[in-house]
A = this chain, B = another copy of it.
Amino acid sequence: MVIDGRKIAEEILEETKNEIQKSGLKLKLAAVLVGGHAESRKFLKLKEIAAKKIGIDFRLYEFPANITTQELHKEITNIIKVKINSGIIIELPLPKHINAQYILNAVPEEKDPDVLSQKAQGVFFANRSPILPPAVEAVRVILRHSKINLKGKNCTVFGYGLLVGKPVSHWLASQGTTVSIVNEFTPNPADLSRTADIIVSGVDKPNLVTADMVKDGAIVIDFAKDVDFEKVASKASFITPPIGGVGPIVVAAVLKNLIILANKKAP
Protein backbone atom coordinates (compact mmCIF):
# COMPACT_ATOMS: atom_id res chain seq x y z
CA MET A 1 0.00 0.00 0.00
CA VAL A 2 1.31 3.40 -0.97
CA ILE A 3 1.01 5.85 1.92
CA ASP A 4 -1.01 8.91 0.96
CA GLY A 5 1.05 11.55 2.74
CA ARG A 6 -1.17 14.36 1.56
CA LYS A 7 -4.25 12.75 3.09
CA ILE A 8 -2.50 12.07 6.39
CA ALA A 9 -1.20 15.65 6.39
CA GLU A 10 -4.73 16.96 5.82
CA GLU A 11 -5.90 15.05 8.89
CA ILE A 12 -3.10 16.49 11.03
CA LEU A 13 -3.79 19.99 9.71
CA GLU A 14 -7.51 19.63 10.42
CA GLU A 15 -6.80 18.55 14.01
CA THR A 16 -4.28 21.35 14.38
CA LYS A 17 -6.78 23.91 13.09
CA ASN A 18 -9.30 22.71 15.67
CA GLU A 19 -6.70 22.93 18.43
CA ILE A 20 -5.83 26.47 17.40
CA GLN A 21 -9.48 27.53 17.37
CA LYS A 22 -10.05 25.88 20.75
CA SER A 23 -7.07 27.69 22.23
CA GLY A 24 -8.10 31.10 20.93
CA LEU A 25 -4.39 31.79 20.37
CA LYS A 26 -3.02 33.78 17.45
CA LEU A 27 -0.03 31.93 16.00
CA LYS A 28 2.67 33.16 13.70
CA LEU A 29 5.47 31.14 12.20
CA ALA A 30 8.70 32.96 11.37
CA ALA A 31 10.82 31.22 8.77
CA VAL A 32 14.46 32.02 8.16
CA LEU A 33 15.98 31.40 4.75
CA VAL A 34 19.65 32.08 4.12
CA GLY A 35 21.03 32.22 0.60
CA GLY A 36 17.76 31.48 -1.17
CA HIS A 37 18.48 27.84 -2.06
CA ALA A 38 15.72 26.86 -4.53
CA GLU A 39 14.80 23.57 -2.85
CA SER A 40 14.60 25.26 0.57
CA ARG A 41 12.43 28.02 -0.85
CA LYS A 42 10.05 25.45 -2.32
CA PHE A 43 9.76 23.63 0.99
CA LEU A 44 9.14 26.90 2.84
CA LYS A 45 6.43 27.80 0.36
CA LEU A 46 4.64 24.54 1.24
CA LYS A 47 4.93 25.40 4.92
CA GLU A 48 3.51 28.87 4.22
CA ILE A 49 0.54 27.49 2.28
CA ALA A 50 -0.24 24.91 4.97
CA ALA A 51 0.13 27.46 7.76
CA LYS A 52 -2.18 30.02 6.17
CA LYS A 53 -4.74 27.33 5.40
CA ILE A 54 -5.24 26.65 9.12
CA GLY A 55 -5.03 30.25 10.28
CA ILE A 56 -1.36 30.52 11.21
CA ASP A 57 0.37 33.72 10.10
CA PHE A 58 3.61 33.22 8.26
CA ARG A 59 6.53 35.50 7.66
CA LEU A 60 9.64 34.76 5.68
CA TYR A 61 12.89 36.42 6.77
CA GLU A 62 15.50 36.21 4.04
CA PHE A 63 19.23 36.79 4.41
CA PRO A 64 22.02 36.74 1.82
CA ALA A 65 24.35 33.74 1.51
CA ASN A 66 27.34 35.82 2.65
CA ILE A 67 25.87 36.79 6.04
CA THR A 68 28.24 35.93 8.91
CA THR A 69 27.35 33.60 11.77
CA GLN A 70 27.37 36.51 14.23
CA GLU A 71 25.19 38.72 12.03
CA LEU A 72 22.70 35.90 11.47
CA HIS A 73 22.65 35.11 15.19
CA LYS A 74 21.82 38.72 15.93
CA GLU A 75 19.05 38.79 13.32
CA ILE A 76 17.50 35.63 14.74
CA THR A 77 17.68 36.98 18.27
CA ASN A 78 15.69 39.97 17.04
CA ILE A 79 13.12 37.77 15.31
CA ILE A 80 12.67 35.79 18.53
CA LYS A 81 12.09 39.00 20.49
CA VAL A 82 9.04 39.74 18.35
CA LYS A 83 6.39 38.41 20.70
CA ILE A 84 3.89 37.55 17.99
CA ASN A 85 6.35 35.06 16.45
CA SER A 86 5.25 31.92 18.24
CA GLY A 87 7.73 29.69 16.43
CA ILE A 88 10.90 30.12 14.40
CA ILE A 89 12.13 27.65 11.82
CA ILE A 90 15.55 27.94 10.24
CA GLU A 91 15.54 26.18 6.91
CA LEU A 92 18.53 23.85 6.50
CA PRO A 93 21.09 23.53 5.07
CA LEU A 94 22.71 26.84 5.98
CA PRO A 95 25.73 28.00 3.94
CA LYS A 96 28.86 26.05 4.87
CA HIS A 97 30.65 28.97 6.55
CA ILE A 98 27.83 29.31 9.10
CA ASN A 99 28.07 27.47 12.43
CA ALA A 100 24.65 25.84 12.04
CA GLN A 101 24.21 24.40 15.52
CA TYR A 102 25.16 27.73 17.11
CA ILE A 103 22.46 29.40 15.02
CA LEU A 104 19.88 26.70 15.85
CA ASN A 105 20.69 27.16 19.54
CA ALA A 106 19.48 30.76 19.35
CA VAL A 107 15.90 29.46 19.19
CA PRO A 108 14.39 28.96 22.65
CA GLU A 109 12.78 25.60 23.33
CA GLU A 110 9.24 27.04 23.48
CA LYS A 111 9.59 28.52 19.97
CA ASP A 112 11.41 25.57 18.37
CA PRO A 113 8.87 23.40 16.50
CA ASP A 114 11.74 21.69 14.63
CA VAL A 115 13.34 20.48 17.94
CA LEU A 116 16.80 21.48 16.67
CA SER A 117 18.40 23.56 19.41
CA GLN A 118 20.77 21.58 21.62
CA LYS A 119 18.43 22.19 24.51
CA ALA A 120 15.39 20.84 22.65
CA GLN A 121 17.42 17.88 21.39
CA GLY A 122 18.47 17.11 24.97
CA VAL A 123 14.86 17.11 26.15
CA PHE A 124 13.90 14.84 23.25
CA PHE A 125 16.78 12.42 23.86
CA ALA A 126 15.79 12.29 27.53
CA ASN A 127 12.32 11.25 26.29
CA ARG A 128 10.73 14.25 27.99
CA SER A 129 9.82 16.45 25.04
CA PRO A 130 6.19 17.56 24.61
CA ILE A 131 6.76 17.47 20.83
CA LEU A 132 8.60 15.14 18.46
CA PRO A 133 11.01 16.30 15.75
CA PRO A 134 8.88 16.56 12.56
CA ALA A 135 10.54 13.56 10.86
CA VAL A 136 9.92 11.44 13.96
CA GLU A 137 6.30 12.55 14.09
CA ALA A 138 5.97 11.53 10.43
CA VAL A 139 7.40 8.08 11.19
CA ARG A 140 5.15 7.72 14.23
CA VAL A 141 2.00 8.62 12.30
CA ILE A 142 2.84 6.35 9.36
CA LEU A 143 3.58 3.42 11.66
CA ARG A 144 0.34 4.04 13.52
CA HIS A 145 -1.49 3.93 10.17
CA SER A 146 0.17 0.59 9.41
CA LYS A 147 -1.08 -0.74 12.78
CA ILE A 148 2.27 -2.45 13.41
CA ASN A 149 3.12 -3.37 17.00
CA LEU A 150 6.59 -1.90 17.40
CA LYS A 151 8.00 -3.99 20.27
CA GLY A 152 10.55 -6.49 19.00
CA LYS A 153 10.36 -5.30 15.39
CA ASN A 154 13.52 -4.99 13.39
CA CYS A 155 14.36 -1.56 11.94
CA THR A 156 17.09 -0.39 9.60
CA VAL A 157 17.78 3.33 9.44
CA PHE A 158 19.86 4.62 6.53
CA GLY A 159 21.86 7.68 7.52
CA TYR A 160 22.46 9.41 10.85
CA GLY A 161 21.76 13.05 10.02
CA LEU A 162 20.39 15.78 12.26
CA LEU A 163 16.92 15.87 10.68
CA VAL A 164 16.11 12.18 10.09
CA GLY A 165 18.54 9.41 11.02
CA LYS A 166 19.63 10.58 14.45
CA PRO A 167 16.24 11.47 15.95
CA VAL A 168 14.38 8.60 14.23
CA SER A 169 16.95 6.01 15.43
CA HIS A 170 16.65 7.26 18.97
CA TRP A 171 12.87 7.24 18.88
CA LEU A 172 12.63 3.76 17.37
CA ALA A 173 15.07 2.39 19.97
CA SER A 174 12.99 4.03 22.71
CA GLN A 175 9.89 2.24 21.40
CA GLY A 176 11.42 -1.18 22.00
CA THR A 177 12.37 -1.93 18.41
CA THR A 178 15.74 -3.32 17.38
CA VAL A 179 17.46 -0.56 15.42
CA SER A 180 20.37 -0.86 13.03
CA ILE A 181 21.91 2.39 11.84
CA VAL A 182 23.78 2.08 8.55
CA ASN A 183 25.92 4.73 6.93
CA GLU A 184 28.18 5.32 3.94
CA PHE A 185 30.88 3.09 5.44
CA THR A 186 28.63 0.06 6.03
CA PRO A 187 30.04 -2.68 3.79
CA ASN A 188 26.78 -4.58 3.21
CA PRO A 189 23.70 -2.61 4.21
CA ALA A 190 21.52 -5.28 2.56
CA ASP A 191 22.58 -7.82 5.20
CA LEU A 192 20.74 -5.70 7.74
CA SER A 193 17.90 -4.22 5.69
CA ARG A 194 16.85 -7.61 4.29
CA THR A 195 15.63 -8.67 7.73
CA ALA A 196 14.03 -5.30 8.57
CA ASP A 197 10.32 -4.97 9.27
CA ILE A 198 10.73 -1.19 9.01
CA ILE A 199 13.16 0.73 6.81
CA VAL A 200 13.67 4.47 7.21
CA SER A 201 15.94 6.33 4.85
CA GLY A 202 17.26 9.89 5.00
CA VAL A 203 20.45 9.99 2.96
CA ASP A 204 19.64 11.69 -0.37
CA LYS A 205 21.19 9.08 -2.63
CA PRO A 206 18.91 7.73 -5.41
CA ASN A 207 18.57 3.94 -5.56
CA LEU A 208 20.35 3.45 -2.25
CA VAL A 209 17.53 1.08 -1.25
CA THR A 210 16.69 -1.43 -3.99
CA ALA A 211 14.13 -4.23 -4.08
CA ASP A 212 16.68 -6.98 -3.28
CA MET A 213 17.45 -5.17 -0.01
CA VAL A 214 13.85 -5.25 1.21
CA LYS A 215 11.94 -8.20 2.58
CA ASP A 216 8.36 -8.93 1.57
CA GLY A 217 5.90 -7.05 3.70
CA ALA A 218 8.35 -4.45 5.03
CA ILE A 219 7.30 -0.88 5.80
CA VAL A 220 9.48 1.57 3.87
CA ILE A 221 9.61 5.26 4.81
CA ASP A 222 11.73 7.38 2.50
CA PHE A 223 12.69 10.94 3.47
CA ALA A 224 15.23 11.64 0.77
CA LYS A 225 14.27 9.87 -2.48
CA ASP A 226 16.68 7.06 -1.63
CA VAL A 227 14.32 4.23 -2.52
CA ASP A 228 13.87 2.58 -5.94
CA PHE A 229 10.17 3.24 -5.52
CA GLU A 230 8.38 1.20 -8.21
CA LYS A 231 10.25 -2.03 -7.56
CA VAL A 232 10.37 -1.73 -3.78
CA ALA A 233 6.64 -0.90 -3.74
CA SER A 234 5.86 -4.33 -5.16
CA LYS A 235 7.38 -5.93 -2.02
CA ALA A 236 6.55 -3.46 0.74
CA SER A 237 3.35 -3.67 2.79
CA PHE A 238 3.46 0.13 3.22
CA ILE A 239 5.69 2.57 1.38
CA THR A 240 5.94 6.33 1.08
CA PRO A 241 6.12 7.63 -2.49
CA PRO A 242 8.83 10.13 -3.51
CA ILE A 243 6.18 12.85 -4.01
CA GLY A 244 3.25 13.26 -1.65
CA GLY A 245 4.88 10.92 0.86
CA VAL A 246 6.60 12.10 4.02
CA GLY A 247 6.98 15.73 2.81
CA PRO A 248 3.44 16.96 3.52
CA ILE A 249 3.37 15.06 6.84
CA VAL A 250 6.60 16.75 7.97
CA VAL A 251 5.11 20.15 7.08
CA ALA A 252 1.94 19.37 9.03
CA ALA A 253 4.00 18.12 11.99
CA VAL A 254 5.82 21.46 12.26
CA LEU A 255 2.48 23.28 12.54
CA LYS A 256 1.09 20.72 14.97
CA ASN A 257 4.17 21.31 17.15
CA LEU A 258 3.53 25.05 17.05
CA ILE A 259 0.15 24.79 18.75
CA ILE A 260 1.39 22.24 21.29
CA LEU A 261 4.22 24.60 22.27
CA ALA A 262 1.88 27.61 22.35
CA ASN A 263 -0.66 25.79 24.52
CA LYS A 264 2.12 24.79 26.91
CA LYS A 265 3.26 28.40 27.17
CA ALA A 266 -0.21 29.87 27.53
CA PRO A 267 -1.33 30.51 31.10
User: Which A positions have Cβ atoms within 8 angstroms of B?
Assistant: 101, 117-123, 125-126, 128, 151-152, 154, 160, 166, 169-170, 173-174, 176-187, 191-192, 195
Q: How far is the CB of A164 from chain B (nearest CB, A)?
A: 13
Chain B residues near A121 (CB, 8 Å)?
122, 125-126
Determine the distance from Cα of A120 to Cα of B118 in the docked complex, in whole angstroms.
Answer: 9
So how many copies of this chain end up in the complex?
A: 2
Q: How far is the CB of A264 from chain B (nearest CB, A)?
A: 16
A121-B126, A122-B118, A122-B120 known; A178+B192 contact, CB < 8 A: yes
11 residue pairs bridging A and B, Cβ less than 8 Å apart: A117-B122, A119-B119, A119-B122, A121-B125, A121-B126, A122-B123, A152-B185, A160-B173, A160-B174, A178-B180, A181-B181
B183 near A173 with CB under 8 A, answer: yes
Q: How far is the CB of A56 from chain B (nearest CB, A)?
A: 27
Chain B residues near A118 (CB, 8 Å)?
119, 122-123, 125-126, 128
